[in-house]
Structures are given as structure tokens and as C-alpha cells.
A and B are shown apart, each in its own frame.
Chain A
Amino acid sequence: MDLISRGRWWPVLCVGTAVTILAIYILLVASNWIYLGWHDTVYFFSKSRMWARFWLTVWTSTVSTFFSLFIGIPAGYALSRFKFPCRHFIASVIDLPIVVSPAVVGAFLFGITTRFPFDWISEYYGIYIGRNVYGVLLVQFTVTAAFCARLMKASFDIIPARFESVSRSLGASPMRTFFKVVLPMAKNGIIASMIVVWARAAAEWEGLMLFVGATEGKTDIMPFAIYLDWNGGMMGWVTSMSIVCILMAVSAISAMRMIGGRSNVW
């Protein structure tokens, strides 16, 4: 009676829902371990096929993170500070690769690589971007550049614009202000965002399905290798590789939380 009349059912309901959903999610993430067991985990983790794929994932996502940071930090600053007409429209177009399903982005990349800049690059420089590791990098760059710009915008939004105007009023040039005032203040946020961007790049695989395809040992980054081995019916490889992916995601997020910057997507 007390539960109903004084509205105490509401916190009980809230906490109950939260605990139930947490249990389901923990079961979801832990189901691979429960399925695989300790002995098989050790067996698959000692294979070189696993680690070749792991290092391929790590280096491709590191390179594409570097490129997206190069574009994303200035773009995020521009989106955060400058006021220009159609700001929301332009920001929405920049965000399109992250809100649209990545498989669709892969289909669009498949269409674009026969067109202007890409056919030119392959003709004059002999760099073919498609069914090789450059294609993997292009897919990862396309998705993470937008994501990076968004996270960087959030990191710069937290810093008050006052510091910049003070620095400018004391005679520093805009470039000097950016490098000596804004970047050091945003350092934590930028490093935290960098880790999230890296984890997102390492998680990207849907775009590869239509655009790149998989060559064993060349373009089979780990999330994609899960799909391939699943089609091949190798459940041991699939579950052990998804354990590695889960560990990569969780450790990236833990590292970001330890650094303690703030980053939000929207």
C-alpha cells in the first residue's frame, strides 16, 4: 500500500529495469566466453592467423585515424567556432557517413571509385583504390573523418571562446592563439576523441562488404574476418576473434575514461 500511494514504485521500477537490462547486456557480451571455454580460447589465441589479422586491423585503423585527425581537428574547430549561413545543413551533410548505415556508404564508395579523382589517381600514379588495403583505408577514413570532426567539435565547444579573445587582444596572431591556447586546453578531449576514433576505425567493416571484399591475409581485418569465418562455419575462430574485438573496444573506452576528456557525438 505504501509502495503505491507514496509513489515509491517509481524508483523500484527504474532500478529494476536498469538491473535487468544490465544483466541482459552483460550476458550478451559474455556469451562468447561462455560458449568457447577457457581451453579453446587459449588454443585459438596461440594461432598466428589470429595475430596476423589483429596487426592488420591495428595498423590500418592507426593510419586512417591519423588521416582523419589531420582533417578532423581543423574541421571540428571550424564547425565549433565559425558562424556561417546554412550551418546546420552543412553539418548534417558532413555527418551523413556516420548516420547512414555503413553498408550503404560502402555501396556509394563502390560507385565513386570509378569517377574523377580516383580514376585519375589510378591512371597517373598506379595506386589502385579498390579491392586492396587502400580500399580498407578509404572506407575507414570516410566513416571516421566525419566521426572525428564531430567529436573534435564537442571537445572545442567545451573551451570558452573568452580565452581566445583574451589571447588575441594581447596581440597574438590567430594561428599562435590556436596552437598555444586552444590546442593545449583541448588536449585531453583531443586525446580521448582520438582513442574513440581509433576504436571506431577498428570496428568498421560493413563498408568493406560491397566495396573491398576480403582477400585472406590482405584485407581481412578482424570484424570482417568474423563474417568470413562465420560463413565458413568456423565458430571457434568467430567467437575467439569477437572476444579480441570486444577486448579492443573495452580497453579503448577504458583508456579514454582514464584520460578523462569529454566527447559527445551529437
Chain B
Amino acid sequence: MSGKKSSRKTFNAVFYSFAGFLFLYSAYLFLSNIDQLFVTKAAIETREITAVWGEDREVLNQFAGGFWKDPYFWKSLNLTVITTLITTLIAATLGIPTAYALSRYRIPGMSFIETLFSSLIVMPGSVIGICLIVMFNYGPLWKLQNALGFKFAHSIFPGMVIASLVLSFALGLSAWKAAFDSVNPRFEQVARSLGSSRWRAFWTVTFPLAKSGIVAGIILAWTRAMAEFSAVLFFCGTFHELPPSRFSNFTKFMQMDQADWVSVAVWAQVEFGNIEYGFALAFVLVLIGGLSVYVMHRIGAKGFVW
């Protein structure tokens, strides 16, 4: 009997240790870098060297660690949060009817559609960015933009929203489709047989039943839009060097001008040598991502790869 107990204990210990390894690795990875937020002696020396070389690099943070005193930090956050909220809104308004159609109606080529949307999730971000550039900057869409007189690429409003929409829509769609798949279509048929219209049957029967899955899909789409990097980098680039005349009055009013998409800003600031800036923005992303994934675990969300 004791032998059995000890074998159970070893078994548990082995499996716990693998999960514990992953937990400790992830926690160590994110927590051990907290000292990067502060300006160290090495960082000051690097800056002095850059000043002597006379490199034309913009050292943004003249407050020695006080990144929160600089408007760029807040403007970048503002830009990303507002843009991702708009993206999520568009993804939800387009994605929920699409998911319902894919889940309920017989559409030919269903396996092709599912393969397309699942492969988007494992496609490199750089490919998505290149596809967007090639799609919008060549051919008929380019002529259309010339005729209309504005460009999609390298702009905040259509550009960033389009770039973050591609993957967040694909991921949200998988969750919404799973939510509608989990609701038995019989309930809706009963409602229809009792005389309610198709819209009423959807709105009063299926939608409330699928509500938790739909909320999970919205959180998933928002998290994915916040985590977007490559598509925004390829399609929009960075904005903080652009002159103020390039920004519209609306973006100036919303305090979104001369700022970057947060994950692009992390990359750009670390490359420019403003390490504590980059890591401060990175920690904001970690906090937001951790919080939303915690909520998803709590409500038991499901998002299928296909």
C-alpha cells in the first residue's frame, strides 16, 4: 500500500515539476527585468558616449528614469488603447454575424474556410504585413486610393485599424464560432416553430446562450489586437519622428499624435537606446496581457485553433 502511495507521489512530483519549470521560467523572464526600468550607471555612460559621438539619435528620456513625465509614453498608450478598442468593435460587429453564418448555414467549401482562418493564426506576422502592403499598395486598390485621395498604409486611422484587425478578427472568429457551435440549434428551431422570426430567434434565444463565449471572443480579439506587432510595423511603421502637420485634428485632440503603437515603440525605443522607456511600455503590455488572460481562465473561455 505504501509503495502505491509513494509511486503516486513521484508521479505527481514529476508532472508538477514540468509545469513548475514553465511557471518559473515565465515568471523569471518577466520579473527579473524590472531593474531595466531604472537608469543605471551603464545607461548614463552609454548616453554620454552617444553625446560625444554626436550621433543624431533622439534620446527621449531626459528625466533620468521618469518615463511617466514624458507625453510620448502616455500618447503611445492612448493611441494603442483607442485603436484596439475600435478594432475590437469592428471585429465584433463583423465577426459575430460571420461566425453565426459559418456555424449554422451550409456554406460550400467549409473545410477550405476553416483551413484559411486557422492557418492565419500560425502564419508569420511579417507575411501578414507584406500581404497587406502588397494588397493595398499595388494594383486596383492602389488606383482606388489615388482616386479617393488618401492612403491606407502609413496612417493611424485606416492603417493601424486594418493592420490590427486581420489577426484579431481571425482569432475572435474562432471563439465566436465555437460559442455558436456549443449552442444546440434545436432551441432556435423551437422558437421558430412557435412563430418568432429568424432575427428574433437569434437575438432572444441563441445570443443569450452563447453570451459567455462571445465575451471571451471579444477579450481574445482585444488581447490579440494589443499584441499585434509585425503587421503594424510593416503596414504603418513608426510615427514619432513625423512632423505635427501629418496628423489630423482628431488625433491631436485625442492626444494620439507623434506616438507609436506600443509594441512597435518597445522595439524602437530599445533600439534607440532608451532602454527604460522600452521596458516600461513592455511591462504595461505584460500587465494588460496577464490581466486579460487571467479573466479568460476565470470565465473558462474556449477559442479553437480551428
Contacts and interface: CB of A to CB of B under 8 A. Distances in A.
Contacts of A226: 124, 126-127, 130
Interface in B203-229: 216, 220, 223, 226-229
Interface residues of B, number: 100
B134 A110 contact: no
Given A29-B131, A200-B122, A249-B119, A92 B290 contact: yes
Interface stretch (B16-24, B53-61, B147-155, B248-256): B16-24
B135 A74 contact: no
A7 interface: yes
B124 A223 contact: yes
Contact of B123 (A82, A107, A142, A203): A203
Contacts of B131: 28-29, 31-32, 242
B278 interface: yes
B235 to A, nearest CB: 12
B123 A246 contact: yes
Contact of A75 (B19, B97, B114, B197): B19
A116 to B, nearest CB: 8
Nearest to B298: A88
A89 B223 CA distance: 17
Contacts, number: 292
A111 B36 contact: yes
Interface stretch (B71-79, B98-106, B239-247): B98-106
Interface in A66-109: 71-72, 74-75, 77-79, 82, 84, 88-97, 99-105, 107-109
A26 B113 CA distance: 9
A contacts with B: majority SS: helix
B263 A7 contact: no
A193 B282 CA distance: 29
B68 interface: no
B298 to A, nearest CB: 6
Contacts of A7: 196-201
A100 B297 contact: no
A107 B126 CA distance: 18
Contact of A18 (B16, B97, B199): B97
Contact of B19 (A26, A79, A111, A246): A79
A97 B119 contact: no
A184 interface: no
Nearest to B282: A104
B290 A25 contact: no
A121 interface: no
Nearest to A209: B267
A92 to B, nearest CB: 4
B7 A101 contact: no
B32 interface: yes
Contact of B101 (A17, A32, A224): A17
Contacts of B11: 173-175, 178
B115 A254 contact: yes
Interface string B88-101: 00000010011011
A26 B119 CA distance: 12
Contact of A102 (B198, B229, B270): B229
Interface in A183-229: 196, 199-200, 202-206, 209-210, 222-224, 226-227
Nearest to A145: B22
A266 B216 contact: yes
A71 B105 contact: no
Nearest to A151: B305
Contacts of B33: 107-108, 111-112
A199 to B, nearest CB: 4
A154 B139 CA distance: 43
A160 interface: no
Nearest to A115: B32
A1 interface: no
B171 to A, nearest CB: 8
B21 A146 contact: no
A255 B270 CA distance: 39
| Chain A CB within 10 A, most for which of B125, B166, B296 | B125
Contacts of A101: 226-229, 263, 266, 285
A170 interface: no
A136 interface: no
B94 A245 contact: no
A108 B294 contact: no
B199 A104 contact: no
Contacts of A246: 119, 123, 127
B124 A8 contact: no
A100 B23 CA distance: 15
12 contacts: A18-B97, A25-B120, A28-B166, A95-B293, A96-B30, A99-B290, A100-B290, A173-B11, A245-B123, A245-B124, A254-B115, A266-B302
Given A78-B18, A107-B282, 12 more contacts: A7-B196, A14-B97, A14-B101, A15-B105, A22-B113, A34-B139, A99-B292, A99-B293, A173-B4, A205-B230, A206-B125, A252-B122
Top 5 A-B residue pairs of the complex, sorted by shortest distance between their CB atoms: A7-B197, A223-B124, A174-B11, A7-B199, A74-B18
